[in-house]
Amino acid sequence: MKLNFKADHRPDVQKIVRWKGISLDYVRVTPSAEYAYSWSGGNHYLATHDIVMTDGEMSVAGGAGIQATDIRNKMTFLPAECPVAGWSKTVPRQNTFTVLCFDRTFLTEETERSAMRIGERELIYFENAALQSTMAKLETIMQDEASDGGLYAETLALLAVIELGRTSVADLEERRTGKFSMAQERLLVSFIEENLGTAFSLEDLAKVAGLSRYHFTRTFKHTFGSPPHRYVMAKRMAAAKTLLTRPGLTIAEIAPQVGFGTAGHFVRAFKDTEGMTPRDFRKRC
């Protein structure tokens, strides 16, 4: 996504995260802003909008201009090689949009189903409750400037692609999967426990099990009873509690040992998970 803002209308935040076959671009503009935008390329494009404008226009594939002023809770899908260009003048509120781009062969490869495909027609300012919910969760993660979202964001991005496939292909049927073998389960548990201080990805875990990320996520939840990001977070918190019982370690020293880049990020995650701060937990020990 190429954005050209006027000199005095820069965005508050513009953040990009990339994984294998996927990129995620988040932009937030709080004051009134005027900007032009364009996009084209070999990847599919999915955007969710939370924008109110006083004026603006968008053209898809060189067609007639599309005008809309309130596109809150609307999404746009553009198939690969379908260019878009336009301009917007926003009202002074927190206006955001999140763009998910992914390789055209991504869905087929990840699901290992050759029949699954994304539609070849653009969808402009459409609504879909399940897909919107997933994109909203991704946007919430991207609002944390100190975090790339890790496993959870990567899982959600993959889910959004799958849900878009459901939207575009009505007869999509998901394949039921069983549990990991005992050998796979042991390898995964060992890998996670040995790498709690490392920012590993969903792809890293899937490789340990020898599966695609899509089938890995489904099988992981069926085996362990929770999705990968929750399981890993629980392991990190359990390790953190053990370390917090050691008075010689500071919060800043504990944070990187359980996979957090900053003490602040660790404190927020601990409080969200355990209902108290690490300091309060330590006082109770």
> Tell me, what's the pLDDT at 173?
35
Question: pLDDT of 96-140, one tens digit each?
Answer: 999 999 987 766 677 655 444 566 678 888 888 889 999 999 999
Helix (H, G, I), strand (E, B) or coil at 109: helix
Measured between alpha carbons, how far is 11 from 32 in angstroms, rounded to an integer?
A: 10
70-92 pLDDT tens trace = 999 999 999 888 888 988 999 99
In the chain, domain spans: 2-168, 182-284
- pLDDT tens digits, 2-17: 655 555 556 778 899 9
Q: Is the pTM of this model over 0.85?
A: no
Domain 2-168 matching CATH 2.60.120.10: the answer reads yes
Exposure string for 7-16, b = 16+ CB within 10 A, e = fewer:
eeeebeeebe
Record the tokens describing residue 17, joined without a space.
């995260």
User: How sure is the predictor about 270, in pLDDT bands with cuts at 50, 70 and 90?
Assistant: very high
Q: Please, what is the Cα angle at 188 between 116 and 263, to 5 degrees? A: 100
The matching CATH number, chosen from 2.40.40.20, 1.10.10.60, 1.10.10.10, 3.40.50.300, for 182-284 is 1.10.10.60
Query: Hey, do 2-168 and 182-284 end up sharing a CATH topology, with the first three levels equal?
Result: no
Question: Helices 228-244 and 182-194, interaxial angle, to 10°?
Answer: 50
* Least reliable range by pLDDT among 46-50, 114-118, 200-204, 215-219: 114-118
- Check residue 2 and give its pLDDT: 60
d(CA 40, CA 82): 6
Q: Name the more confident of 62 and 221.
A: 221
Phi-psi region of 205 (alpha: psi -120 to 50; beta: other; left: phi over 0): alpha
How far is Cα 246 from Cα 126, in angstroms, rounded to an integer? 53
Helix (H) or strand (E) segment spanning residue 141: helix 129-142
Amino acid 176: pLDDT: 40
Strands 84-90 and 13-19: unpaired
CA distances from 268 to 67, 129, 231, 281 (A): 41, 29, 17, 13
